[in-house]
């Protein structure tokens, strides 16, 4: 069959959707000073300047604008009109809201823009040198340096009490940052250094939170600005290991965890974030992530029926794509029916399943392998060219499922049509014919 042809008609995942029995968004204005909720991320009181400059590397306080309506404050960077460069790099800020009922919350950041492309960098984790960049609309000048999707205009119906959304020629924009679990929400906000133009300025207004699930536990727990596992949790697969990380030694069997069907970002947002990402680190995936990426690829999503009902479609329910997971500890076969990984070969075989550096760095490589066993039992003849087209559709859906899951989970992934110049080496490792190897997909944590 033609391995280069990939039809990515994707059957979108329920896990990428949000359960929106969630409450509405509560807007919180960012405030400065000793008693303010916004501080310098490096430590210390945030005291913005009132000077109008695009070069002093200080946030400018603009009053009487935006939220709260009629008495609002905006923190501006790179906004000096007429200065073609505005090359300032203002200090990173951190806005904190505490004392919330313990639970899981969706978190948003809010900034303003006119018809240009004003922007903000923001995240729940402030450790990275550059935070993810969100902007109101993409201009040609944006194309090279940024790979983040546009934010969305804030809508009044999404809020408990709607903040000011439109003022003069400016509108309030909303960027979704992820979920947090606990009683405290912390958002890191930054400008885009070297703004190049006042049309690319930052107007930071505040943050928002939306209750997804509230904990039944009494009393506070440790707060965590990490992607939250939302309750209720599915029951673990029988015998599932309780560790968060996959075992570092090559276990004969890795019992995978059931997917958390209540987590994830909205489907449309996941689609907007779907991209090829090669800048991957060697950080391990958690056992939950490893379990979910495999389930997303081709796992059983309607177990009350049988293992013929999966996240990816197959013509006549004749599944012809096997998945092998290549980890640093070994190569594993994904047993869909049991939702577990079975050891095929010990040791690090990543260099046999790819030619690019990120293949050897990332924790997980998926190799898709042709298996015509089910097709051999067809009661009536199917022309090979037609059968092969159908299998290509199946393969494309599996790979795209992984892409959408990674977009939702914040992981990076790359589809690779070529495994290696000599694919017989990896075929020998997993004991299949070379022509059975279809393509591969690298999955890892983004640097």
What's the confidence (pLDDT) of residue 19? 32
What's the confidence (pLDDT) of residue 150? 60
Beta bridge partners of 380: none
DSSP code, position 217: S
What is the CB neighbour count within 10 angstroms for residue 123? 23
What's the confidence (pLDDT) of residue 340? 95
Cβ atoms of 394 and 313 within 8 Å: the answer is yes
Integer CA distances (angstroms), 245 to 82, 285, 286, in order: 53, 7, 4
Six-digit token pair at 278? 């090669």
What's the confidence (pLDDT) of residue 285? 94
pLDDT tens for the chain, residues 1 to 447: 544 443 333 333 333 333 333 579 999 999 999 999 999 999 999 999 988 777 788 999 987 777 766 567 889 988 776 655 667 889 999 999 998 888 899 999 999 998 888 889 999 988 777 888 888 865 444 443 344 456 889 999 999 888 999 988 899 999 999 889 999 999 999 998 866 677 788 999 999 999 987 654 433 223 333 333 333 333 333 333 333 455 456 789 999 999 999 889 999 999 999 999 999 999 999 999 999 999 999 999 988 766 678 999 998 888 999 999 999 999 999 999 999 999 999 999 998 988 888 999 999 999 999 999 888 876 677 888 888 999 999 999 999 999 999 999 999 999 998 787 788 999 999 999 999 999 999 999 999
Six-digit token pair at 13? 């995942």
What's the confidence (pLDDT) of residue 420? 78
What's the confidence (pLDDT) of residue 45? 95
State the distance between the two ends of the chain, measured CA to CA, in whole angstroms.
Answer: 36
What's the confidence (pLDDT) of residue 62? 85
Q: Which domains does the chain have, with CATH numbers?
A: 26-214 (2.60.120), 231-445 (3.40.109.10)
């Amino acid at each position: 069959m033609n391995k280069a042809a990939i039809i990515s008609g994707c059957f979108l995942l329920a896990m990428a959707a949000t359960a929106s029995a969630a409450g509405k968004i509560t807007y919180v204005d960012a405030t400065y000073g000793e008693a303010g909720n916004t501080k310098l991320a490096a430590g210390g009181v945030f005291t913005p300047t009132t000077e109008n400059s695009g070069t002093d590397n200080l946030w400018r306080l603009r009053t009487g604008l935006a939220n709260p309506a009629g008495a609002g404050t905006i923190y501006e960077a790179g906004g000096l009109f007429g200065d073609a460069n505005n090359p300032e790099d203002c200090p990173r800020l951190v806005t904190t809201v505490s004392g919330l009922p313990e639970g899981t919350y969706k978190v948003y950041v809010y900034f303003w823009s006119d018809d240009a492309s004003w922007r903000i960098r923001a995240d729940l984790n402030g450790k990275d040198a550059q935070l993810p960049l969100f902007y109101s609309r993409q201009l040609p000048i944006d194309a090279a340096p940024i790979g983040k999707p546009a934010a969305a205009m804030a809508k009044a119906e999404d809020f408990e009490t709607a903040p000011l959304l439109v003022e003069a020629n400016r509108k309030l924009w909303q960027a979704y940052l992820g979920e947090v679990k606990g009683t405290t929400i912390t958002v890191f906000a930054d400008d885009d250094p070297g703004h190049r133009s006042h049309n690319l300025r930052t107007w930071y207004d505040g943050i928002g939170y939306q209750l997804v699930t509230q904990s039944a536990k009494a009393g506070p727990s440790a707060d965590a600005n990490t992607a939250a596992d939302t309750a209720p949790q599915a029951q673990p697969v029988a015998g599932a290991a309780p560790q968060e990380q996959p075992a570092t030694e090559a276990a004969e069997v890795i019992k995978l965890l059931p997917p958390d069907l209540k987590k994830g970002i909205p489907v449309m947002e996941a689609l907007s974030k779907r991209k090829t990402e090669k800048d991957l680190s060697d950080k391990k995936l958690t056992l939950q992530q490893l379990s979910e990426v495999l389930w997303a690829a081709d796992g059983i999503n309607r177990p009350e029926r049988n293992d013929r009902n999966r996240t990816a479609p197959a013509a006549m329910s004749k599944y012809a794509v096997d998945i092998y997971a290549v980890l640093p500890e070994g190569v594993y076969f994904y047993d869909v029916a049991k939702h577990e990984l079975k050891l095929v070969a010990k040791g690090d075989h990543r260099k046999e399943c790819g030619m690019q550096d990120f293949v050897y760095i990332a924790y997980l490589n998926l190799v898709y392998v042709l298996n015509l066993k089910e097709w051999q039992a067809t009661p009536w003849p199917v022309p090979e060219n037609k059968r092969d087209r159908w299998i290509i559709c199946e393969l494309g859906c599996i790979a795209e499922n992984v892409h959408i899951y990674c977009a939702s989970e914040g992981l990076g992934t790359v589809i690779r049509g070529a495994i290696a110049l000599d694919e017989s080496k990896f075929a020998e490792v997993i004991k299949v014919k070379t022509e059975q190897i279809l393509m591969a997909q690298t999955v890892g944590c983004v640097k």
